[in-house]
A and B are shown apart, each in its own frame.
Chain A
């Protein structure tokens, strides 16, 4: 029972306009200065078919979708079956369904606790009357929700206008009409339920923006100076490429859709060699194909950023659902000893920051950086305070000194940091031969043990400096709490809220979420975990990849417990709370 928050779920078939309705609600809420997250679920069909969205609106900070709903809108009960497990109701939750009084009861295959009330609204009739088409049912629904939960009407009307403006004033008016009839039906027929009212903040918050994680990744890359993108479509990362196809050329960059992921990373390396800040984006199967080239980037010391928007399962798995199970592939999926950096954004706005950081590290240290986003972040739409885009930690590569005798230029010069001056064709005078084959400081091939050993030392040396320099770790809760939770990436949302709720309940608990997973600043992490009696490691991986990765980098506190499970269902706030309570 949180009057400062409202959780909605909508489910229907293609054509019901579930997503369009969701987006209108999200923008309207953002206009009111509220925070908002919308998750989309689709059935396995490519187009049409059933779809659902889950929206959380709150005046508080909002890190994750809520576990259960206040209001569930069912356009179609047969579609509910597929998503029921994701759309469970709170004890006071109500259902809105299409129907006339006196219609026979439909079969309602509820999952979880039964609704407090089911409200039948003649959506089809309203839509026909107002707009002459059943397509406007979703507008009637928005009206009904506004009537029920006292949502800001004007902002919704504005959002509806935005959506239909292109189609002319008549269409806008018709949709307004459907909205109003839906709202009035609720007002006239249903007693207001206080429990599902959203109390809006009295002071208007900072301006909000609404974007997806994939938008945020693409935008962040451009802000970081990325001007080359090569990629191959794969769910759930494709929107990054789609976004860049529009904006890359407008800012003097190149974006190319390649024949496969191998070509994608190859082109990225080619472009990077000639001085472009370059990236690709993919999902698990694509990352696997890129593996050999990640090794190449590592040994030839070529900056590049690879975004992996993770999905569930090996192979095709469950491509439309999220998981955190490419961690091992990202960190260790190489042949030979091939240092790379792995970092992970935790939510939509974080994607922007992590991309800026990824390019900074990659360019400065001339090393491949893998960014592990996931489907739940990439495809979620979030409203949040406008990020500050003026902070760009841009980095220009170390060039060889201009007065150096070209014959003396050593591309792979041994230095204290492991970073050597990188000559750029067409910019610098010094030419060199780069190689995936082991080489000496000049780039000439070698197969000697000593040189291989020294080159490995050089390349790995960078990791120490990186761990030292980029080691942002989020942490929540009191420093001296005896119980802690350690998580990464998108798990942060549920973990953070679980910790906040538990603190409210009087449990002293804290959470730590590192942004760079490899190389990990173990000193810093140890300090944060130091006072703990019990530690819970949380992740969305059945085999416990995060736990295993941590173990390779440090000794975990004695009392460490693990909670890792498969993806394809989001981590719930209560799920984490239950796990933590057990430790007390």
Chain B
């Protein structure tokens, strides 16, 4: 009986993880690829939507929770990470993802990033990097390349761009990866690994803005891709190796750049909870003893 029942239960489909809401993104926006990859990854992992939550900040990319049929929170600019962390600490049984853009995560929200890395709380952060502010229509982003002309850098940017992967490695993140929204299959694999990773997983997804950067960026990236998982010389547990691929000339390394096994926040918290179990204060009422004279 049960075997026949199993036979008719359909495997989760990516479409099960998408809402009916039509994305507001421009046709050709890289974020469609990320949305599809997430839906496929969720289906592959057979995540229970009622136990999954995607938290974002504000930006074109941050609209993503609206299109995913899980719990979602499209919050305020730059705060996806701490909200996601709060949710994970609130209920560690849930699968929690944070998602957003380069402006969201590496301008206004930068302050939270090193702390997410060092705390190693088990969430997955998908950062859709388009080198520009899409939603506010084309201003300079912290990841805009030098000399890039934007609406707020009319003579070309005089700033050096920040490299999110380098930052993550410097902050001792335990899972650092880079993907491309133009290669969904590869991206799905990275996201699945990231969600499975028992700690903080950072995934930079190169996700071009066709409107304010231009369609050609897809090709530029595609032509330079270097797949680390197909590179027999690449050992992603070696941090020195990882730093070498942060800022390469002429090629863009994608795949899992680095992973290590540091105890997660939750492991340490479990230890702490165990340690305080021996406490004499078994009830809240007994805490009044602290104040009786």
Q: Chain A residues in contact with chain B, CB under 8 A?
A: 27, 30-31, 207-211, 215, 219, 222-223, 228, 230, 247, 249-252, 254, 256, 258-260, 262-264, 266-276, 278, 292-293, 295-296, 300, 383, 386, 389-390, 423, 425-426, 428-437, 444-445
Question: Of B53, B70, B74, B293, which one neighbours A208 at CB under 8 angstroms?
Answer: B293
- When A209-B293, A262-B82 are in contact, do A274 and B90 touch as well, CB less than 8 Å? yes
Q: Is the CB of B74 within 8 A of A267?
A: no
Q: Which of A209, A254, A260 contacts B291 (CB 8 A)?
A: A209
Q: Does B196 belong to the interface (CB within 8 Å)?
A: no
**Nearest CB of A to B14, in Å:** 16
Are A431 and B89 neighbours in the complex by a CB distance under 8 Å?
Answer: no
- Say whether A207 contacts B111, CB under 8 Å: no
Q: Do residues B291 and A210 form an inter-chain contact, with CB atoms below 8 A?
A: yes
Whether A249 pairs with B273 at a CB distance below 8 angstroms is yes
Beyond known contacts A266-B82, A278-B90: 5 more, CB 8 A cutoff: A211-B291, A249-B276, A273-B71, A273-B87, A432-B71
Instruction: Say yes or no: A431-B70 contact (C-beta < 8 A), given A258-B115, A389-B284, A426-B94.
Output: yes
As a 0/1 sequence over residues 1 to 36 of chain B, the CB contacts with chain A under 8 angstroms (1 = contact) are: 000000000000000000101000000000000000
Q: When chains A and B are docked, how far (Å) is the Cα of A439 from the Cα of B185?
A: 33
Decide: A431 and B71 in contact? CB cutoff 8 A. Answer: yes
Report B-chain residues with C-beta under 8 Å of the C-beta of A425: 50-53, 71, 87, 91, 94
B86–A270 contact, CB under 8 A?
yes
Q: How far, in Å, is A435 (CB) from chain B's closest CB?
A: 4
Return chain A residues, CB-CB under 8 Å to B81: 266
Beta-carbon contact of B86 and A228 below 8 Å: yes
B53 & A293 in contact (Cβ 8 Å cutoff): no
Residue of A nearest to B24 (CB): A445
Task: Give 10 closest A-B pairs by Cβ, nearest first.
Answer: A270-B86, A267-B86, A271-B90, A266-B82, A270-B87, A433-B72, A209-B291, A263-B82, A270-B83, A274-B90
With A250-B276, A274-B94, A275-B90 known to touch, is A207 a contact of B71 (CB < 8 Å)?
Answer: no
The answer on a CB contact under 8 Å between A434 and B73 is yes
Q: A269 to B53, Cβ gap below 8 A?
A: no
A271: chain B residues at CB < 8 Å are 86-87, 89-90
Tell me how far the C-beta of B75 lies from the nearest C-beta in chain A, rounded to whole angstroms.
5
Distance between Cα atoms of A222 and B112 in the complex (Å) = 27
Q: Is the CB of B89 within 8 A of A254?
A: yes
Q: Tell me if B75 and A210 are in contact (CB < 8 A).
A: no
Closest to B67 in A: A433
Contact of A267 among B50, B76, B85, B276 (CB under 8 A): B85
- Taking CB atoms and an 8 Å cut-off, the chain B residues in 256-293 that contact chain A are 269, 272-273, 276, 279, 281, 284-285, 287-288, 290-293
Tell me if B134 counts as interface (CB < 8 A to partner A). no
Contact of A389 with B288 in the complex, beta carbons under 8 Å: yes
Residues of chain B lying within 8 A (CB to CB) of residue A390: 285
Number of chain B interface residues as a range: 35 or more
- Work out how many contacts link A and B, with CB atoms closer than 8 A: 174
Which B residues are CB-close (under 8 A) to A275?
A: 90-91
| B82 and A426 form a contact (CB under 8 A) | no
Measured in the bound complex, the distance between the Cα atoms of B275 and A249 in whole Å is 10
Tell which of A247, A252, A256, A262 touches B89, judged by Cβ atoms closer than 8 Å. Answer: A256
- For the complex, what is the distance from the CA of A295 to the CA of B115, rounded to whole Å? 24
**A254-B90, A437-B74 are known contacts. Are A269 and B83 too (CB-CB below 8 A)?**
yes
Q: Which residues of B contact A215 (CB under 8 A)?
A: 291
User: How far is the CB of B111 from the nearest CB of chain A, in Å?
Assistant: 6
* Complex-state Cα separation, A433 to B75, whole angstroms: 10
How far apart sit A556 and B52, CA to CA, in the bound complex (Å)? 52
Asked whether, in the complex, the Cβ of A259 is within 8 Å of the Cβ of B112, the reply is yes
Please determine whether B293 and A267 come into contact, CB atoms closer than 8 angstroms. no
Chain A residues near B74 (CB-CB < 8 A): 433-437, 445
Bound form: Cα–Cα A435–B66 in Å: 9
> B residues within 8 A CB of A267?
82-83, 85-86, 89
Instruction: Tell me how far the C-beta of A7 lies from the nearest C-beta in chain B, rounded to whole angstroms.
Output: 20
B65 sits at the interface (CB 8 A): yes
Q: How far is the CA of A441 from the CA of B52 in the complex (A)?
A: 21
**What distance in Å separates the Cβ of A204 from its nearest Cβ neighbour in chain B?**
13
Contact residues in A for B91 (Cβ distance below 8 Å): 274-276, 425-426
Tell me how far the C-beta of B167 lies from the nearest C-beta in chain A, rounded to whole angstroms. Answer: 15
B57 (CB) vs chain A CBs: closest residue: A436
Compute how far the CA of A272 lies from the CA of B89 in the bound complex, rounded to whole angstroms.
Answer: 10
Measured CB to CB, the nearest residue on chain B to A277 is B90
B178 at the interface (CB under 8 A from A): no
The answer, yes or no, to whether B49 is at the interface (CB within 8 Å) is yes
